[in-house]
Amino acid sequence: MATKTTPRAGAKPLRATTSTQSPAAVPLKAAAQLQESDLPGLPGLRTGDDVETRIYNTVYESVMTQRLTPGTKLPEASLCELFDVRRATVRKVLQALAHDHIVDLRPNRGAIVAEPTPEETRQVFEARRALEGSIVRLATRHATREDIASLRQQLAQEHDAMHRFTQPAWARLASAFHLRLAELARNPVLQRYLMELVSRCSLIVALYEPPGKASCEHEEHERVVDLIAQGDADGAAREMEAHLLALEHSITLQQERSDNNLARMLGMA
């Protein structure tokens, strides 16, 4: 656990107003009672029960859980057969996945799972560091005592999940921590931008981070919360920047191709 320090001189005391439960916060229950079904969904999953949403989410989740690896071909004919839909439906879904940087559409060659380049990875993390620095400063300004207590409970759940659940499961909880900070910033525009960046970072991490490596270090999250609780906005922003730099540096842009068939990689066989 991170060591608590004495609040800096002149730090603004936390307000004691009541905060509301947010979509990015997991159910408020003791860490030992948390079940994998309680964890937040993958950032970027779509809502709805139509066939297009089902195809989108199946491909998206298969990429995020590393069943579909970078460069894997997604033939339209195979997808049509697997989902029992027309080619026009598959093309519409692939265009949506391409818009969200999950797949690449190559002229006359079809769709493949996206392969983020080192330059694209650098740009995504650069944008995220700049955005989350502003978010953390605003969260420090607006956070109530109840918000801090909720964050600490979320961190306890995160710590417990790292020892009980699979890597993709607790990686979702780590992403939820960042999205919860964005909600505490009380700026919906910044929150929407961070959702997109977290989704893209989750893709990069899912594809390229070494197996068994924590996608977000729990102790670093704790230090950010400690600094927010102290009212140290600049310190919290510096800690967040260091945290995101460490995450970026943990990524190796190499991945072996899978020999599995498409149905197995999509979890449908």
Give the bridge partners for 110, in sequence order: 106
Please report, for the chain, the start and end positions of each structural domain, with discontinuous segments joined by +. 51-115+255-265, 118-249
Cα 256 to Cα 26: distance, rounded to the nearest angstrom = 34
* Phi, psi at 141, each rounded to 5°: -70, -35
Residues 74, 93: Cα–Cα separation, whole Å: 12
Each residue's pLDDT tens digit, 89-133: 999 999 999 999 999 999 888 999 998 888 999 999 999 999 999
Could you report the per-residue pLDDT of 198-238, keeping only the tens digit for each? 888 888 887 776 655 555 778 999 999 999 999 999 999 99
Q: Determine the residue type at 149.
A: A
Q: Which helix H or strand E contains 73, and what residues bound it?
A: strand 73-74
Is 128 within 8 Å of 201 (Cβ atoms)?
yes
CATH code at 51-115+255-265 = 1.10.10.10
pTM comes to: 0.73
Whether residue 143 contacts residue 16, with contact meaning beta carbons closer than 8 Å, is answered with no
Q: 118-249, what's its fold?
A: Four Helix Bundle (Hemerythrin (Met), subunit A) (1.20.120)
The region, left, alpha or beta by phi > 0 then psi within -120 to 50, assigned to residue 86 is: beta
